[in-house]
Amino acid sequence: MTGAFELSMIPAVLPEIMLILLAVLVLVLDLVYRDRENSALGWITAIGLLVAAGLGVAFSRPASEPVLLFGGMLRQDWLTFTFRLIFMVGAALTALVGTEKSGKHLGEYYLLLIISTLGMSLMASSANLIMLYLAIETTSIPLYILAGFKVTDQKSVEAGIKYLLFGAMTSAVMLYGFSLLWGFSGTTSLYELADALKAGSAPPVLMGGLALLVLVGFGFKVSAAPLHFWAPDVYEGAPTPVAGFLSTASKAAGFAVLARVLLAVFPDSLPFWTVVIAVLATVSMILGNVLALVQRNIKRLLAYSSIAQAGYILVGVAAGNELGVTGVVYYLASYLVTNLAAFGIVWLVGRQVGSDDLDAYAGLGKRNPAVALAMLLALLSLGGVPPLSGFFGKLLVFGAAVQAGQFWLAFVGVITSVIGLYYYLTVMKIMYRPGTDEQPLPMTPAWRTALLACVAGMIFLGVAFAPWYGWATAAAGSLF
């Protein structure tokens, strides 16, 4: 077996080790300073996550050739590297957004966030079915709790339970798929499965069926239609920063494994699954955008929009080429900063006004012009308008579709993004209409920092393409 444990493998998982230490630290601090106001915890979590991300950049850079570690459990490659950055930055921003001065169980909140991030990081690097499943569950279980974190709020509890039930269900189907994969091939290693299946001359129909079973689990994670039903209810009920985290980092984790598993395990049935993914993408884009049109609650609107965005990103997967995966990685980074900014603002408004109704946004342009401007930028980025990052992400995935000759998919994509623009513009318009209350909303320093970082990210990714594009290409290259 390749790469049994050696001490030299430690740097490769340094960020993960850092996360575990951070989790312990947060837990201890919370126990020791239980009675004090502990707004510092959010900062500590965020800084710790960024340190972990920094360690990843400094010490866990993959070699030119991908390496299998720990008995083939993990794979150190550029996909791991880029996605780890996405998750950790996303978690850090989420930690900053939701920083309250005081509150119950804050320590647990951050602990769960960190553990879930750890799971995502392992998801992106898993090269083995068992490891993959464990990583997915490590990610999901804390998220179930986080979604239902406001135990006194019925909606939040409902969100948590709904998420749990959907998650458990799809996870079971996926696990069944995994077990069949193992049964037909006798191996659990992602990178040996393809050959083993071929050697076992598994019939194409079976391969297609297996791909479908596995896709159920991943489709749930990325909230692609028709596995999207949980998203609006969960986003609406869950604490807003958690909803933001679910829609960005958790979705990104889903895409990481989706791309890796499809390309590594099912390279031979590529013509089949590209069609399946293309169909999922089409349905997601149409359904998400059309249903978002009628929403009056901003969190539900963003939930349907996130389904639509999953559709756009799937276009990149469906292309099945390197540009497509590059586009996926670029899009996800862009979507991370964009949607976290949007959810951050929703959190601010919701906390102050006590409502997530669209009408609560009337007058925001007068109340906090800077916040309104940030929301404007986030919505434009979601709509795919330059000079914001969403534009370039869309360009890449649609470009990949065109390169793969899937013109119809590109056309569906661009036409539905016009529908998307409609409701984004509607929100924009409401913000600049006179509202009942003109008191500025108070912001915490942590929140300000997070929002500023998001806006800077949106503009940076939307204007200076080269740095992240370079890493995204490398990530794509490690799958082909």
Partner 1 sequence: MGFPILSLIIFLPLAAGLIILALPADRKLAIKGIALGAGVLSLVLAVIVYAGYDLAQGGYQFVERMPWLPALGISYYVGVNGMSVPLVLLGALVITAGVMISWRVEDRPREFFSFMMFLGASVQGVFCSLDLFMLFFFYELAVFPKYLMIAIWGSPKTRDYGSMKLTLYLFIGSVISLVGVLAMYFAAGQKTFDMLVLENAGFSMAFQQTWFLVVFGGFAVLGGIFPFHSWAPDGHVAAPTAISMLLAGVEMKVGAFAALRVAIMLLPEGARYWSLLILILGTINVVYGAFIALIQTDFKYVIGFSSVSHMGLVLIGFATLSREGLLGAGMQMFSHGIMTALFFAVVGMVYDRTHTRNIGELGGLFQKMPIAAIGFIVAGLVSMGMPGFSGFVAEFPIFMGAWRVLPLVAIIAILGVIITAGYILLVMRRVFFGKLPEAFEKSVTDITVMDKIVVGVLVLLMVVIGVFPSLMTTMIESGVNQILALVGGA
Applying CB under 8 A, the residues found at the interface with partner 1 are 365, 369, 373, 376, 380, 383, 385-387, 391, 395, 398-399, 402-403, 407, 410-411, 414-415, 417-418, 421-422, 425, 428-429, 432, 465-466, 469-470, 473
Among 221, 212, 216, which residue's Cα sits nearest to residue 140? 221
Give the shortest CB-220-to-partner 1 separation in angstroms.
30
Cβ proximity to partner 1: between 177 and 365 the closer is 365
Cβ proximity to partner 1: between 114 and 475 the closer is 475
Cβ proximity to partner 1: between 226 and 470 the closer is 470
Give the shortest CB-292-to-partner 1 separation in angstroms.
15
Q: Cβ(242)–Cβ(330) under 8 Å?
A: no
Please enumerate in sequence order all residues whose Cβ is within 8 A of that of 462, keeping only pairs 6 or more positions apart, or say none. Answer: 334, 381, 386, 387, 388, 389, 390, 391, 392
Round to whole Å and give the CA distance between 404 and 360. Answer: 44
Give the shortest CB-282-to-partner 1 separation in angstroms.
15
Among 279, 282, 276, 259, which residue's Cα sits nearest to residue 414? 282
Greatest Cα pair distance, the chain, in angstroms, is 70
Phi, psi at residue 436, to the nearest 5°? -75, -35
Give the shortest CB-389-to-partner 1 separation in angstroms.
13
Beta bridge partners of 128: 189
Cβ proximity to partner 1: between 210 and 472 the closer is 472
Give the shortest CB-405-to-partner 1 separation in angstroms.
9
Report DSSP state, residue 250: I
Cβ proximity to partner 1: between 136 and 319 the closer is 319
Give the shortest CB-377-to-partner 1 separation in angstroms.
9
Give the shortest CB-447-to-partner 1 separation in angstroms.
21
User: What angle in degrees, to the nearest 10, is found between the helix axes of 106-125 and 129-147?
Assistant: 150
Report DSSP state, residue 7: G
Question: Cα–Cα distances in Å, from 218 out to 20, 91, 156?
Answer: 25, 20, 24
Give the shortest CB-391-to-partner 1 separation in angstroms.
7
Cβ proximity to partner 1: between 96 and 375 the closer is 375
Give the shortest CB-438-to-partner 1 separation in angstroms.
13
Cβ proximity to partner 1: between 386 and 442 the closer is 386
Cβ proximity to partner 1: between 162 and 367 the closer is 367
Helix (H, G, I), strand (E, B), or coil: what is residue 128?
strand
Cβ proximity to partner 1: between 204 and 369 the closer is 369
Cβ proximity to partner 1: between 121 and 321 the closer is 321
Phi, psi at residue 445, to the nearest 5°? -60, -40
Give the shortest CB-296-to-partner 1 separation in angstroms.
17
Question: Counting every residue, how long is the chain?
Answer: 480
In which region does residue 363 sit, left (phi positive, over 0), alpha (psi from -120 to 50) or beta (all else)?
Answer: left
In which region does residue 354 sit, left (phi positive, over 0), alpha (psi from -120 to 50) or beta (all else)?
Answer: left
Helix (H, G, I), strand (E, B), or coil: what is residue 13?
helix
Round to whole Å and give the CA distance between 451 and 5. Answer: 41
Q: Cβ(198)–Cβ(186) under 8 Å?
A: no
